[in-house]
Structure 1
Amino acid sequence: MRVSVIQMNQGSDKARNLAEAERLITAAVEADRPGLVTLPETWTNLGGGREARMAAAEVLPPEGSGEPGGPAYELLRSLARRHGIHVHGGSMVEAGDGKLFNTTVVFDPAGMEIARYRKIHLFDITGPDGTGYRESALYGAGDRLVTFEAGGLTFGCTICYDIRFAEEYIALRRAGAEAILVPSNFTLATGKDHWEVLLRARAIESQCWILAAASWGQYEERGQMRAVYGHSLVADPWGHVVAKVSDGVGWATARIDSGVTARVRRDMPVLAHRDARPIAL
């Protein structure tokens, strides 16, 4: 199965972001014919403060109901139908239960929603450049793992900061995942040192393909400019980066080879060893 990771430079103008996502997905499909495309984290909004995020938020229809949703939700659905592909919608700002959520939705080629995941680990840190991030001040946390089937493969869902929690990736592997998606807005300050290292480590540990679509460039947040790292990539279960986007907007495409997955897992059966020799901490 061929997969494309889309790299965007989104901002706080939701309409512009939707138009750019449509343009990039259409270009990737026409050029590379993937069976699945994936967008970055909060591709509908990045920056602009609380008001912009609230304005970008959408109330999602009941999961799997087929009922209509907001503009971003319906765009993803229409792109899946138009191109006959699976569309993994990175993540969007979801309005629900009195708070916002950082939420992934996935559509099959018929335009039916087949998966929904709310980000579990919220980004409450102070970066090495002194910039503070408090995702929990605006967002609620998810509480369940999510997988879905596409092209005969099982995919696991994660979002950005989840990448620092290896146990989530091992749990997804145990749940049958062969590939794990990591839509992200990785800061420039952390990304230049940690992004590729973490993605390759999660691939090696879980023996899954890692598909990481990321935001790139600058955006405005409450009158200050911030930067995100980009470098969207696909890594194989051995930890090799097999496709990567450079600076700028664009995409990269790779083929998920189940034979590679099977060979890596056969020759180094780390999950069986982990289960057979639990360590009490």
Structure 2
Amino acid sequence: MKKMKKTIKQVVVYGLLSLGAITMLLPFFWMISTAFKTGFESLQTPVTWWPKHLVWENWVNAWYAAPFLRYLINSVIVAAVTTVGQIFTAILAAFAFSKLNFAGKNLLFTILLATMMVPVEMLIIPNFVTLSQFHLINTYGALILPWLGSFFAVFTLRQSFNTIPDQLYYAARIDGASDWQFLWSVLVPNAKSSITAIGLLQVIGSWNSFMWPLIVTNSETMRTLPVGLQAFSTDSGINYPELMAASTFVILPMALLYICFNKYVVAGISNNGLKG
């Protein structure tokens, strides 16, 4: 009887997981299938799940519809610099909040933790005004500077650093190691999963960012890939097959990156008390 109950439970669990997987993968399948359709097929009803004839020209036309190579270079630069910068600042801040003692440490941490409840949309206008005063609009500075710091990253790394006993820190100091040496020789190597998870989440977030690059850039030379998808939306309508082909160009690198490193995201989050 117990074995039967266990079998039924497993069937239900795997069934729900399979249903969830299909639900998540269906939009990607629809995107790729539409990229091979004609304009008429993409709009006809009832819908066709796969085109009768594969239209490969959609992919070529999509690539040349806008300067996607320039957009790709911009996206790579912005994602790489913001990720490296955010990880570096998060490591330093997390070390200070985890191992160092200074006046107002807990109060400052609480205040910064409360800022995580502020919607990002509320910061758009203040950030835009600040960057305008420094004449950074339509530059890499506007795309990068606001995202060099993230308290979520600081909080995550602090949780990871807290798993290292303070006694080890004091012993290293007694042996003559500086704070800088202890940070990079002990804490950082032991927090590789968390750092990788933070980096991957930041890369994906930066790569997929649309609203901010749209606001702070006004020329094609500074646009990023998500903003470039606007090229397929005109007054005469939307070219859905080419739009889906271009969307595949944008999504594919991040999908492959996540598939390769998703285990680090799971490990980094589950090891830092952020489950649930």
Report TM bin, short chain.
under 0.3
Per residue, is there more strand in 1 or in 2? 1
TM-score by length of 1: 0.25
The one of the two structures with greater contact order (alpha-carbon pairs below 8 A, sep at least 6) is 2
Bigger radius of gyration, 1 or 2? 2
Per residue, is there more helix in 1 or in 2? 2
